[in-house]
């Protein structure tokens, strides 16, 4: 086979630039090796005896192979690597040729390349792995068996590492059936490592239960030969878990109680039990390790975590306290030290541990919980000071969250004056931040009457220069008014702003939504159509308009088209799923309606979705299920008008009289 790339002359000039050893007409200077250099074998065979043209061809082939390999042109890469390997006897080049050929499923050339590889590196285990895979992929079992026997002595002595390498090899090429191969070469059973590898592959197959007897036979043999083979122990636990987690737990506990494991194996078993939430058994392992290695921080950490999971917060706080003081996983250790201490009313330790949490994943939670704890203990100034100190250490978004938390605490404590000062101070620094106006309006909403609050909203809006901020203030104020059941006033507030900005989509859409509880359906439809006229791709408006039409039980074909268009854009949107169900119900497609409503209800069991789902179930003669859904919604939301209106339409359900 001619493995040379025929167009080599195209790149010769490039090679001359890139490679210092490129051919030249000048005499070549050959240095005499020193004594020290002759004692060490060169990494690659010398190419000094090659002609300038042959060296040029060689360098070109290597360069071309590397480029082709990066571009996944494996046939070109393989042929040029092989040529270069033949010329040099290089281990690196022959290994590349073998690997690329294996990827291309060119098993004959892969085997040829591994022969060159083995010649230059007879003890390289990777050469035998690739040769074995290529042989087995061709169905040459005897040849593969020979390579396996050559490979095994080259693998690590450690049993778990040896198994890991066997499994990596076995998972490389799908055309090589290693399950059948391992079974064949290990009959009768005489290799614990091959037996365990076969058990693993069967356990990870698509039908492990059907192979359970064989898996058990293999692992029982292995553990009889190697009682402390940790991977085999873990695999037997996994096999038992196919039937029940309790059986796995009992087995691992039994292994632990036999006390035949090394200290490291004991720790690993403890880790396994911990990940399976068998915390009391895991503690046995951790205590055994700590008896010999009392300063083992990771084991101490897992012991503390086990106590926390078992709700022994006193011991958990003591252990996490020591770990935090030693700066071991300080962020999580100090946080759980504080959390555990607070749960057992050790507030002094809780304060200290919360203060120790560094900036990171747990920092924001720690600071807000610390502030809340101070507030609950009537230490309001300490709470505020703690939050303000934290604000100096974090970025803008987190600073805003902490400020909001601080103002909420002050408001809850009735310290409206300090809350107002804090907001005013922040507004002087950042006068155009919507979230600060949200906080200000939230405070005013709690301290003012509806009339006063509306006037405050209008004043803030009038004093704002930015048009978007005016819109934000309007919508925030309307939202608070709706929360006070002042639906008409909220609608009028948005209507007034929308009159000034008739093409503002935010205001139009919000005005449409504010019209719904007032049953201003004509206005609602008009505004939603105007939104879609301005922005035909506004999927929220499509959904709202479609739902409104469906709820009014008119223009159902148009309603379905609108909702389906919105659903295509956002299939995971719960509101749109609810609308899909409702329009199908109105169209009489009960099965489709049930599918979408159950999908929505599973994600968010809101009163509105519960009302719709219950109504569909009722009309599908599934009254018991309907009553269950309605009763649950009513228990969770006893004053919700939507669920109450629905139940009044179905007096025969007798849910309201229960």
Q: DSSP secondary structure string, 627-655?
A: HHHHHHHHHH-TT-HHHHHHHHT-GGG--
| pLDDT band with cut points at 50, 70 and 90 for residue 657 | low
Residue 292 has φ and ψ, to the nearest 5°, of -95, -30
pLDDT at 72 over 90: no
Residue 378 neighbours by CB under 8 Å, 6+ apart: none
Please choose, from the candidates 614, 612, 605, 657, the residue with its C-alpha nearest in 3D space to the C-alpha of residue 636. Answer: 605
Q: Quickly tell me which residue has 């917060």 as its tokens.
A: 313
Q: What is the mean pLDDT of the chain?
A: 86
3-state secondary structure 552-590: CCCCHHHHHHHHHHHHHHCCCCHHHHHHHHHHHHHCCCH
Q: Kindly give the residue spans of alpha helices, DSSP state H, lying in 155-229.
A: 159-170, 178-185, 192-203, 212-225
pLDDT 10s digits, 565-590: 999 999 999 999 999 999 999 999 99
- Whether residue 340 is predicted with pLDDT greater than 90 in this model: the reply is yes
103-132 pLDDT tens trace: 888 898 889 889 989 988 899 999 999 999
Cα–Cα distance between 105 and 236 in angstroms, integer?
Answer: 35
**pLDDT tens column, 51-70:** 677 667 777 778 877 787 78
**Cβ distance 584 to 592 under 8 Å?**
yes
pLDDT at 10 over 70: no
H or E element at residue 284: helix 279-292
pTM to 2 decimal places = 0.59
Rounded Cα distance between 85 and 70, Å, is: 19
pLDDT at 37 over 70: no
Alpha-helical segments (H) within 293-415: 297-309, 313-325, 330-343, 347-356, 363-376, 380-391, 396-412
């Amino acid at each position: 086979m001619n493995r040379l790339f025929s167009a080599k002359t195209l790149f010769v000039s490039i090679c001359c630039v890139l490679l210092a050893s490129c051919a030249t007409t000048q005499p070549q200077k050959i240095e005499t090796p020193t004594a020290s250099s002759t004692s060490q074998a060169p990494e690659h065979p010398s190419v000094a005896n090659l002609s300038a043209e042959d060296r040029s061809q060689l360098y070109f082939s290597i360069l071309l192979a590397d480029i082709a390999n990066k571009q996944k042109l494996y046939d070109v890469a393989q042929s040029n690597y092989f040529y270069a390997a033949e010329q040099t006897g290089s281990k690196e080049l022959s290994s590349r040729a073998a690997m690329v050929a294996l990827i291309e499923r060119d098993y004959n050339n892969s085997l040829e390349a591994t022969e060159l590889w083995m010649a230059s590196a007879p003890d390289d285990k990777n050469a035998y792995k690739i040769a074995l895979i290529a042989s087995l992929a061709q169905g040459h079992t005897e040849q593969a068996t020979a390579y396996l026997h050559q490979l095994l002595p080259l693998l690590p002595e450690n049993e778990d590492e040896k198994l890991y390498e066997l499994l990596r090899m076995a998972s490389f090429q799908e055309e090589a059936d290693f399950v059948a191969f391992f079974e064949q070469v290990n009959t009768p059973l005489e290799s614990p490592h091959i037996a365990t590898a076969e058990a693993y592959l069967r356990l990870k197959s698509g039908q492990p239960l059907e192979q359970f007897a064989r898996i058990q036979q293999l692992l029982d043999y292995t553990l009889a030969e190697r009682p402390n083979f940790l991977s085999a122990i873990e695999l037997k636990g996994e096999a038992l878990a196919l039937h029940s987690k309790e059986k796995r737990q009992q087995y691992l506990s039994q292994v632990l109680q036999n006390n035949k494991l090394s200290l490291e194996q004991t720790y690993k078993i403890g880790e396994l039990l911990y990940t399976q939430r068998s915390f009391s058994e895991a503690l046995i392992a951790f205590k055994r390790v700590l008896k010999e290695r009392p300063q083992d921080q990771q084991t101490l950490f897992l012991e503390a975590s086990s106590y926390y999971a078992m709700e022994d917060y006193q011991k958990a706080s003591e252990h996490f306290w020591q770990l935090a003081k030693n700066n071991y996983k300080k962020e999580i250790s100090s946080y759980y030290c504080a959390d555990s201490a607070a749960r057992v009313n050790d507030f002094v330790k809780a304060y200290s541990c919360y203060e120790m949490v560094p900036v990171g994943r747990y920092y924001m939670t720690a600071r807000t919980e610390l502030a809340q704890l101070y507030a609950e203990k009537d230490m309001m100034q300490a709470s505020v000071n703690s939050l303000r100190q934290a604000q100096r250490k974090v970025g803008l978004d987190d600073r805003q969250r902490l400020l909001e938390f601080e103002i909420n605490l002050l408001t809850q404590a009735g310290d409206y004056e300090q809350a107002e000062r804090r907001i005013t101070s922040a507004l002087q620094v950042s006068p155009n931040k919507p979230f600060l106006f949200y906080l200000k309006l939230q405070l005013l909403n709690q301290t003012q009457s509806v009339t006063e609050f509306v006037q405050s909203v209008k004043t803030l809006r009038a004093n704002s220069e930015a048009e978007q901020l005016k819109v934000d203030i309007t919508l925030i104020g309307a939202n608070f008014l709706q929360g006070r059941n002042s639906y008409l006033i909220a609608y009028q507030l948005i209507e007034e702003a929308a009159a000034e900005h008739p093409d503002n989509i935010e205001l139009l859409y919000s005005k449409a939504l504010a019209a719904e509880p007032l049953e201003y359906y004509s206005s609602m439809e008009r505004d939603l159509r105007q939104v879609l006229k301005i922005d035909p791709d506004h999927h929220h408006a499509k959904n709202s308009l479609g739902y409104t039409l469906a709820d009014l039980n008119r223009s159902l074909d148009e309603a379905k088209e609108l909702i389906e268009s919105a659903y295509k854009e956002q299939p995971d949107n719960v509101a749109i799923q609810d609308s899909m169900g409702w329009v199908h119900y109105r169209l009489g497609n009960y099965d489709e309606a049930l599918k979408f409503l159950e999908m929505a209800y599973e994600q968010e069991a809101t009163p509105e979705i519960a009302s719709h789902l219950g109504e569909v179930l009722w009309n599908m003669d599934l009254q018991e299920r309907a009553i269950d859904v309605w009763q649950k919604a009513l228990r969770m939301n006893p004053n919700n008008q939507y669920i109450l209106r629905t139940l009044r339409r179905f007096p025969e359900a007798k849910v309201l009289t229960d």
